[in-house]
């Protein structure tokens, strides 16, 4: 049995959204070495992952980090007290334009993303959100990719046929997890490469 692609699912961070905490820390005056260190310590920590699942709010998350790393209290407080998402989250315009072009061709467009409710409320102001048919977000379901739950919720909520669905994500483990459901997973490296692979599937 042959299937026709009807649905295209995008990740946000690393695809449609440039998640760039390094830029924010540099604006705060951190040098390159300190920036690299605190980006990993804060923004790619297990605590941040729990924040994305809404198990922690931002204040609670930073309190845990302060308890774990009291030697960095000055830097952590500076990061927390000055945090503004407009210095961390940026729309990737060329990918957003590609999403809109796919929507104009009649494909259903969805989002499957790991992000906090705060990030969602900021991101939804980007124009491309007007072109999506729905989304599944970690903060609302309590799990992050590549948990099977994220893909199961996506397919069930929107009644998607896996073989009729493309999923685009920048992380290979998330793409591989989608393939276990029969979804056509594509790892985002460059937009040109994604366009070639999507075009092949659409034809």
* pLDDT tens for each residue of 54-91: 898 999 999 999 999 999 999 999 999 999 999 999 99
- What is the pLDDT confidence band of residue 1, given thresholds at 50, 70 and 90? low
Confidence label for 117 from pLDDT (cuts 50, 70 and 90): very high
Residue 203 banded pLDDT, cuts 50, 70, 90: confident
- The reported pLDDT for the residue numbered 24 is 96
Query: Is 168 inside any structural domain?
Result: yes
> What pLDDT was estimated at residue 165?
98
- 118 and 80: one domain? no
Cα 193 from Cα 184, distance rounded (Å):
15
Total count of domains within the chain: 2
**At residue 109, does pLDDT exceed 70?**
yes
CA dihedral 52, 44, 166, 143 (to 10 degrees): -30
Least confident span in 31-40, 47-56, 179-188, 192-201: 47-56
Residue 119, number of CB atoms within 10 A of its CB:
23
Over the chain, what is the mean pLDDT? 96
Question: Would the pTM of this model clear 0.85, i.e. be above it?
Answer: yes
* Edge-to-edge strand ranges of the sheet holding 165-169: 134-137, 108-113, 7-10, 165-169, 184-187
171 in a structural domain: yes
Tell me whether residue 49 is in a domain: yes
Provide mean pLDDT across the span 13-21.
Answer: 95
pLDDT of residue 2: 76
The CATH number of residue 14's host domain is 3.40.50.1000
Domain hosting residue 138, numbered range? 7-18+89-202
Rounded mean pLDDT, 150-173: 98
Strands, E, within the chain: which ranges?
A: 7-10, 17-19, 89-91, 108-113, 134-137, 165-169, 184-187
């Amino acid at each position: 049995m042959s299937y026709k692609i009807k649905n295209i699912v995008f990740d946000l961070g690393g695809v449609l959204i440039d998640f760039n905490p390094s830029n924010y820390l540099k604006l705060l005056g951190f040098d390159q070495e300190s920036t690299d260190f605190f980006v990993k310590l804060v923004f790619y920590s297990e605590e941040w992952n729990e924040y994305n699942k809404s198990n922690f709010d931002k204040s609670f998350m930073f309190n845990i980090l302060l308890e774990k790393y009291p030697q960095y209290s000055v830097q952590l407080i500076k990061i927390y007290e000055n945090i503004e998402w407009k210095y961390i989250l940026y729309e990737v315009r060329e990918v957003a334009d590609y999403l809109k072009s796919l929507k104009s061709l009649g494909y259903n467009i969805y989002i499957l993303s790991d992000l906090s409710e705060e990030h969602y409320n900021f991101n939804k102001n980007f124009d491309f959100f007007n072109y999506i048919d729905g989304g599944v977000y970690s903060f609302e379901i309590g799990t992050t990719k590549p948990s099977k739950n994220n893909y199961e919720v996506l397919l069930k909520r929107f009644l998607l046929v896996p073989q009729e669905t493309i999923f685009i994500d920048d992380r290979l483990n998330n793409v591989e997890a989608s393939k276990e459901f029969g979804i056509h997973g594509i790892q985002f490296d460059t937009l040109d490469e994604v366009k070639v692979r999507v075009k092949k599937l659409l034809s």
